[in-house]
Amino acid sequence: MPTTDAQRAARALALLDLTDLSDTADEAGLAALCARAVSTPGPVAAICIWPRSVAKARAILGSGPVKIATVVNFPEGTASVAAVVADARTALAAGADEIDLVLPWRTFLLGESEAAATMVTRVKESCGPKTLKVILETGEYPDLDHVRDASKLAIAAGADFIKTSTGKTPHSASLPAARTMLEVIAAVGRQVGLKPSGGIRTLDDAAGYLGLADEIMGPGWAGPESFRFGASGLHQVLVDVIAGGSAGQASGPY
């Protein structure tokens, strides 16, 4: 496994969903994001952007190695199933490779698990072979038992990845939540990935999550098809470390 800071940073960079879900995201910012995604020492695994930007991103990135992910039912998780399915289909038609769906987690916490599962199932039906990541919003849960139950629900309903957070709440990704999610994944009889997202700002932050994946799933498990980071400012931190700089802290949002 990687031993130097530069090696650890290179590993994390290849697993990054370079993200701009800011309120001020615009076409100029999208062009810059796409350029960063494929620049040296990249590429990253994917970009994660607003649905309105998918078609433009596809025109910029073409059929290159960087996937295009977008979000639905984001960030509140309160839209209707019909509206979310329609949004997912529109994004996929525009060229999205991956859908990051916010689980209706408030509904889930109220005990209405079937309604929450129905949304995941319907969106996965719309995705077909395309990747569906289900955002649990674990930082808003009262305990890890709920994280475990939500993970099981999302996977049973068809999730290809389970993701910690939107990055839009006071509490985002955490190592205890990620451990719980990985334990659920380890018990599943099919490939399911993990995406820690929100609050991952340093190389040490990223290495902590990768260390968990290595411990629970084995050192060869965490690749772009099974593990992603959702972050924006982390990209520059990793690039700087690979170039020989110090492992500073990201300054960007999300």
The active-site residue, picked from 67, 124, 133, 195, is 195
Closest by Cα among 75, 63, 68 to 91: 68
Q: Across residues 5-32, what is the average pLDDT? A: 97
- What pLDDT digit, counting tens, does each position of 224-253 carry? 999 999 998 899 999 999 999 866 655 444
Cis peptide before 104 (omega within 30 of 0): no
Q: What is the pLDDT of residues 75-131, one digit of tens each?
A: 999 999 999 999 999 999 999 999 999 999 999 999 999 999 999 999 999 999 999
Marked catalytic residue, from 67, 124, 133, 163? 163
Print the SS3 string covering 25-76: CCHHHHHHHHHHHHCCCCCCCEEEECHHHHHHHHHHHCCCCCEEEEEECCCC
Domain locations in the chain? 5-237
What pLDDT is attached to residue 100? 98
Helix (H, G, I), strand (E, B) or coil at 102: strand
23 is known as an active-site residue: no
Clarify whether 100 is annotated catalytic. yes
pLDDT of residue 130: 98
Catalytic, 67? Answer no
For residue 140, give the DSSP letter.
G
Q: Pick the catalytic residue: 100, 124, 133, 205?
A: 100
Name the CATH topology of 5-237.
Answer: TIM Barrel (3.20.20)
209, 179 Cβ separation under 8 angstroms: no
Q: Torsion angle of alpha carbons 140, 108, 131, 162, nearest 10°?
A: 40
